[in-house]
Amino acid sequence: MEEKRQLYPLKFVPQEENGVWGKEIWTIADLGFADSEVVQGGWLGGNTLSDLMETYLERIVGEDIYQWYGRQFPLSIKFLEINGETPLLVHPDDEIASQRYDALGKRESWYILEADPKALIRMGFNKDISVAEFYNRCLEGSANEVLNVIRPKAGDFIDILPGTVHSAAGKMRIAVVQESSELNLRLWNPNGTAGKEESAGKGRTAGTGRTQASEGDEPLMLEEAIDFIDYRKYDGRAFQPADSRTGEAINRLIQCKEFTVNEMHINDALRISTEKFGRFIIYTCIRGEVSIQAASSDGKANTSECRLKSGETVLIPADMPDFLIVPVEKSSVLLEAMVEECEQTDPYINPDAAPFLEGEDYEGLDTEPQEEDEE
- Is residue 109 within 8 A of residue 164, CB to CB? The reply is no
- Residue 369's pLDDT band (boundaries 50, 70, 90)? low
Between 340 and 361, whose confidence is greater? 340
- Please provide the distance, in angstroms rounded to a whole number, between the alpha carbons at the two ends of the chain: 54
Q: Cα–Cα distance between 142 and 129 in angstroms, integer?
A: 14
Q: CATH assignment of 10-243?
A: 2.60.120.10
CB atoms within 10 A of CB 315: 27
Distances (CA, A) of 275 to 38, 268, 281, 322: 24, 21, 12, 8
Q: Does residue 322 have a pLDDT over 60?
A: yes
Q: What is the pTM of this model?
A: 0.85
Q: Which fold has domain 245-338?
A: Jelly Rolls (2.60.120)
pLDDT at 333: 97
User: What are 108's strand-pairing partners?
Assistant: 160, 178
- Do the domains 10-243 and 245-338 sit in the same CATH topology, yes or no? yes
Cβ 299 vs Cβ 259: under 8 Å: no
Q: What are the structural domain ranges in the chain?
A: 10-243, 245-338
For 205-259, how does the pLDDT look when each residue is reduced to its tens digit (9 = 90+)?
434 444 333 455 578 899 999 999 999 999 999 999 999 888 889 999 999 999 9
